[in-house]
A and B are shown apart, each in its own frame.
Chain A
């Protein structure tokens, strides 16, 4: 028994030391080994591609944030793979559509009225407005703490506007100011931004006293920080535009999928909630006649 004890103690000691070395070796190493880096991408989507154009007036990542969820929904629900196609200008976008590089394009109401009819393009749907139709509105906003109470107070003020090619900018120049008895020259300065959100930021940070944006964007910022000073009458919202007479099944599928989205339906509402605020009520069908008032306005006064 005593004879056995001695080697046993040495054995245990040796085991302990060995274990120590092993554990410490592992602890001092930085492993675990790298995961097998195969580089094989997720199974490629082999379905036919349908491209949808968007004008890139601002950061591409922001445009994707706003429109990619729509493409994801269409790809998941339809038989095609829907991809966004950005273009540098409205002219490019219209040209791409005309050449067939894209099947449809998100246009502004104003730009459609300016380019669409002459290039043989037709609107198919637009975001649903609060009246249930394709209506949209523009609003004049000021910071909540601003002393601005009416359009008339704008004299000598700095005003931020969206793109020259937007209905909102046009409404401000052609209608809003005039109704208050002011002219563009009465203002301190006017600046156009590519992105409606940028207008809100500039008003909020005080670099501009007032700004004009789509009502949907003003709503995004809630009622606390900004205040609506004036509101335009309804006008048709920004349409999805196609080549007139295009009867391709992919297009039919896309229009169908978007028009059937019902905000009253819980599943559809969940889908719409993830999208840009402008699309929150879904879409309604439109045609060239819907935009005739805008076309007329354009013919009358030209751009701001």
Chain B
């Protein structure tokens, strides 16, 4: 039995995985972009803040350096006091250092609980623009350090270096990161949830459809029952229902076509009969003519006339019986259930066909087993089968020999009728199709391709079978097997 849908729903898993991965990748890339941009903005803001503070500090530091160089020193310890005051006013400062033009340290902030223990280095290039950089120190962690040269004109008085705590910047960056991460997870989760629900509904509809397909019976009437929907699934349902309806219609058409074929075959058989019938009736009529001619030539011979009249009577009787048979064959009757003597049936069919076979130079050899058990069935229909087989054999053996017809009683209570010819045989590729209605290899007008199809229908209706053995170029043997107690 085919499972309705794979249990794990591998389609759903795959869609969810692929979509989840895609969304995650896209969101991560977008987050990177935002993070990079945000980071740049934050760091630039920090840098410009540091530069501004350093510039503000440097004005007075420069003045102090100039005064000192010119021995105009204002108050003793002015620079140290200024640095301490500046540190107090700006809580983010971790150190301030002032360097002379030779790079030697002139003054610096005092180490304290939030100040730096290791002496900072002067900026690499004192003459360069204000430079700033982040550096990690053992104690206070990340610091934003900025260096600013102290110059007037082309004269360099030294430089200042200021260090600001930058751990808060780092914290801000990681807060942004976790915010973005949370967003990615939330959005991805929400999208997957929505997708899951949608997929679930889709798959349920598919399951409905599969169920309806399984329930569709060819014998049943009416389209399969499915809920009405106005989406693509609904379209699928409607098309499936339409298909069910078409199947029902074509089944009904097939049945009526079969009935038509059945009638056509009966007509064709009647046509075939006509030739034989004409001959059968012609024979007695010729005999009667011959008698009339003989009587006319010697009307006075009373004895002879009586004998001829007797012969004429017999001939008329024969003709009358032929007409009666023909009437019985052509009349459409319900299949009868009667005891059938197959040997008798064979005899009456061969009698009908003997003229035709003789004309075509086909010798018919009969090998009938005497006291053949009677079977139950319709004599007329079975005669039709025999006639079809004999005509086919005669067509195949045309002008080149004999057709052998034999009847045998099998040990299993079955009766076998064998029709064998030495004709051209059946090509291997045609063999599976010879029982198809309208399959024929004969020229138009000569064969309808209905004979075997009708015959098989009749034999199967009697609970029997038709077997065929054929060798191209060597001949063909059809064997009809009928149960002794066959019922149509």
Q: Are A31 and B134 in contact (CB under 8 A)?
A: yes
Interface pair A27/B35, CB less than 8 Å apart: yes
- Tell me if A65 is interfacial: C-beta within 8 Å of chain B: yes
Mark each residue of chain B from 125 to 159: 1 if its CB lies under 8 Å from any CB of chain A, else 0.
11100010111100000101100000011111000
Chain B 4-36 against A: per-residue CB contact (8 Å), 1 yes, 0 no? 000000000000000001000100100010011
How far apart are the CA atoms of A171 and B292 in the complex, in Å?
A: 187
Complex: chain B residue closest to A83, CB-CB: B155
The distance in angstroms between the C-alpha atoms of A59 and B177, with both chains bound, is 50
How many A residues touch B, CB cutoff 8 Å?
39
Whether the Cβ atoms of B35 and A35 lie closer than 8 Å is no
Q: Is B485 an interface position by the 8 A CB rule?
A: no
Task: Give per-residue flags for B155-181: 1 if the beta carbon is below 8 A from chain A beta carbons, else 0.
Answer: 110000000001001100110010000
Chain A residues within 8 Å of B154, by CB: 68, 72, 75-76
| Interface hits, A1-55 → B, CB 8 Å | 13, 16, 20, 23-24, 27-28, 30-42, 44
Q: How many A-B residue pairs have CB under 8 A?
A: 103
Name which of B59-67, B106-114, B240-248, B400-408 contacts chain A.
Answer: B59-67
CB under 8 Å from chain A, chain B span 437-468: none
Assembled-state Cα–Cα distance A61/B157 (Å):
11
A68 touches B142 (CB 8 A): no
Using a CB-CB cutoff of 8 Å, which residues 53-79 of chain A contact chain B?
56, 59-61, 64-65, 68-69, 71-72, 75-76
Contact A65 B134 (CB under 8 A): no
The answer to the question of A231 belonging to the interface, with a C-beta cut-off of 8 Å to chain B, is: no
A36 to B125, CA, bound (A): 10
**A86 located at the interface, meaning its Cβ lies under 8 Å from any Cβ of chain B in the complex:** yes
- Given the complex, which residues of B lie within 8 Å of A30, measured CB to CB? 43, 134, 136, 142, 144, 166, 169-170, 173
A69 and B153 contacting across the interface, CB-CB below 8 Å: yes
Asked whether A87 is an interface residue with its Cβ less than 8 Å from the other chain, the reply is yes
Given the known A-B contacts A24-B177, A64-B155, are A35 and B63 also in contact in the complex, defined by CB atoms under 8 Å? no
The residues of A that contact B122 with a CB separation of less than 8 Å are 37, 39
Residues of B within 8 A of A225 (CB): none
Chain A residues whose CB sits within 8 angstroms of the CB of B166 once the complex forms: 30
Contact A36:B155 (CB < 8 A) given known A23-B32, A30-B169, A86-B72: no
Residues of B within 8 A of A (CB-CB), count: 45
Known: A30-B166, A61-B66. A40 touches B103 (CB 8 A): yes
Collect the chain B residues with CB atoms within 8 Å of residue A28's CB.
170, 173-174, 177
Contacts of A64 in B (CB 8 A): 66, 152-153, 155
Complex alpha-carbon distance, A110 and B145, angstroms: 50
Roughly how many angstroms separate A88 CA and B126 CA in the complex, as a whole number? 29
**In the bound complex, do residue B153 and residue A68 qualify as a contact, i.e. CB atoms below 8 Å apart?**
yes
Distance in angstroms from B373 CB to nearest chain A CB is 66
A85 within 8 A of B: yes
B63 touches A37 (CB 8 A): no
Contacting pair A41 B177 (CB below 8 A): no
A34 touches B153 (CB 8 A): no
Q: Are B153 and A39 in contact (CB under 8 A)?
A: no
Q: How far is the CA of A68 from the CA of B135 in the complex (A)?
A: 36
Closest 7 A/B residue pairs (Cβ): A68-B153, A37-B121, A86-B70, A64-B152, A30-B134, A39-B103, A72-B154
What are 11 inter-chain pairs, A to B, with CB distance below 8 A? A13-B21, A16-B28, A24-B32, A27-B32, A30-B166, A32-B134, A37-B124, A41-B126, A64-B153, A71-B153, A71-B155
